[in-house]
Amino acid sequence: MTFKPAKWPRRLRSQEWFGGTSKDAIYHRSWMKNQGLPADLLDGRPVIGICNTWSELTPCNAHLRDLAERVKFGVYEAGGFPVEFPVFSPSESTLRPTAMMYRNLCAMDVEEAIRGKCIDGVVLLAGCDKTTPALLMGAASVDLPAIMVSGGPMLNGHFKGERIGSGTHLWKFSEAVRAGEMTAEEFVEAEASMSRSAGSCNTMGTASTMASMAEALGMALSGNAAIPAVDSRRRVMAHVTGRRIVDMVKDDLKPSDIMTKDAFENAIRTNGAIGGSTNAVVHLLAMAGRVGIDLTLDDWDRCGRDVPTIVNLMPSGKYLMEEFFYAGGLPVVIKRLGEAGMLHKDALTVSGKGIWDEVKDVQNWNEDVILPVEKALTQSGGVAVLRGNLAPNGAVLKPSAATPDLMTHRGRAVVFEDIDDYKARINDDDLDIDETCVMVLKNCGPRGYPGMAEVGNMGLPPKLLKKGISDMVRISDARMSGTAFGTVVLHTAPEAAVGGPLAVVRDGDMIELDVAARRLHLDITDAELAARLAEWSAEKSGANPRPASGYAQLYHDRVTGADTGADFDFLIGCRGNAVGKEAH
């Protein structure tokens, strides 16, 4: 922790717009004053942007206008001037083809908005899965002082006396309906029971994982991740964050000071301890790229490998975010990592202190929610990174969500060429498949779907569900919802749509999975694999034609592989906060 605060007072960036008596300064001030602003708000105090992903079409973020008001209280109290602005809001639950296809669009919007606007620092308001990484990516590429407030999770779901979690029970009930164990009417009845309040998914899905990653990286105040959206303390978090960003501007404390390699390693270990979403892999790789940190899939395996999963939350465990908050939340987990020698304790946070200072005095209030290490859900909870001739650039699997007996497995491939092929055949009782087979799904990677859909946990064939089979080995280049579970190999790279080995797997091939050895192997000779790959071409495969125009074409042409974060190649790196020519 070598950060040295800047001198204060000093002339701020916003004064390039508002300072002086030039025609441009008067132009900028005068138009702002049409909102009824006293002159002294533009007199050199820190101007704080509130970057808001509020949208009624992003239901998980629909309460963020309220939180923005609380941020403003804090900014005013600390002597700053808050200004709220909207950015594109990718919603996991309503956006097609995938919210992931729009993460980079949101990040680009955020970056350009922060850089182009007359602000000195920014509060990032996010909640739903992609909004958190998108805002952190955009802010990192500008590198003005930035701090995140999450929207917080929904309250617990309850249905027929059972605790039910966002997403996790959607998958479970959907399988139950297909297995004939639940009626369609009951499924519809459960719908309203799952989403009882404002907020993001209440499981340790991607939204809660990414909120935890923001906190573990040091980009949000300690305790931010778990406070329920409707708890009054969520408003307090927004309020004190508003106060804090003003001081961060005075100190010139920037994302590049906080998002260091140590911070990313802390986040990776935290992900293992919480049983976090595999989506964190692509998002952290992309964020690291924005601040020029050399983070790779191997770092995920190296740092996460021996981390026990101690947070007993769905989808890996039994509780939900509400109980996690009551138990003490993420600070307790980070403290445990520190005690186990798995934390870079000096890693700087937005508070200006090292992360250990923030957590060393917290207490665990429920040892059934945040488990002692000896009772961990799994002793090796980090994301396993697999390699082999089927995934030369890597693939990932979440051990805490997998079936232990399937982690070493050899089986016959049943191949689906794309998601439409899967949907067309999976319910067919004549499909030649049994529980020992390996289901293979192609063309669902970043370029393939497009946007790397969360379909990797493809549902099992009904005829096997009816036999009581609840898990099989599945392999794809897709992602999986953070709320989902199963022995599912994801993010296989290179993806099928660019001619990775996954593209040439055929029905009947034998596939070997050995998670302990980190191995994923297609059991054909090297010569046979080379011949199949030489024969393959995007045109011949007929999958994923280049879109004729628009954002979809840009995405197709410039998205990178899952193993490097699926960012746009031209967005990697930090471009700073300098703006071009004046608009007038």
Q: Where do contacts with ligand FES occur on this chain (CB under 6 A)?
A: 60, 92-93, 128-129, 166, 200-201, 205, 207
Q: What is the DSSP letter of 153?
A: B
Decide whether 200 or 312 has the Cβ nearer to ligand FES. Answer: 200
Decide whether 153 or 448 has the Cβ nearer to ligand FES. Answer: 153
Residue 270 to residue 366: CA distance in whole angstroms: 19
Q: Strand pairing of 408-416 and 438-441?
A: parallel
Decide whether 89 or 544 has the Cβ nearer to ligand FES. Answer: 89
Buried/exposed 314-331: b ≥16 CB within 10 Å, e otherwise: bbbbebbbbbbbebbbbb
Q: Which of 182, 364, 334 is nearest to 266 (CA)?
A: 334
Q: How far is the CB of 272 from ligand FES (least distance, A)?
A: 21
Burial (0-12, 13-18, 19+ Cβ within 10 Å), 91: buried
Q: How far is the CB of 93 from ligand FES (least distance, A)?
A: 4
Q: How far is the CB of 486 from ligand FES (least distance, A)?
A: 18
Residue 58 to residue 10: CA distance in whole angstroms: 39
Decide whether 93 or 393 has the Cβ nearer to ligand FES. Answer: 93
Q: How far is the CB of 125 from ligand FES (least distance, A)?
A: 14
* Residue 186: strand, helix, or coil: helix
Decide whether 105 or 118 has the Cβ nearer to ligand FES. Answer: 105
In degrees rounded to 5, what are phi and psi of residue 362? -80, 165
Decide whether 279 or 364 has the Cβ nearer to ligand FES. Answer: 279
Q: How far is the CB of 298 from ligand FES (least distance, A)?
A: 29
Q: How far is the CB of 277 from ligand FES (least distance, A)?
A: 10
CA contacts within 13 A on the Cβ side of 452: 31
Decide whether 58 or 443 has the Cβ nearer to ligand FES. Answer: 58
Number of H helices, E strands in the chain: 21, 14
Q: How many angstroms separate the Cα of 81 from the Cα of each of 38, 154, 571?
A: 11, 31, 30
Q: Extract the runs of DSSP E, i.e. beta strands, from 268-359.
A: none
Q: How far is the CB of 478 from ligand FES (least distance, A)?
A: 17
In the block, residue with structure tokens 């508003």: 242
Decide whether 92 or 495 has the Cβ nearer to ligand FES. Answer: 92
Q: How far is the CB of 315 from ligand FES (least distance, A)?
A: 12
Burial (0-12, 13-18, 19+ Cβ within 10 Å), 505: buried
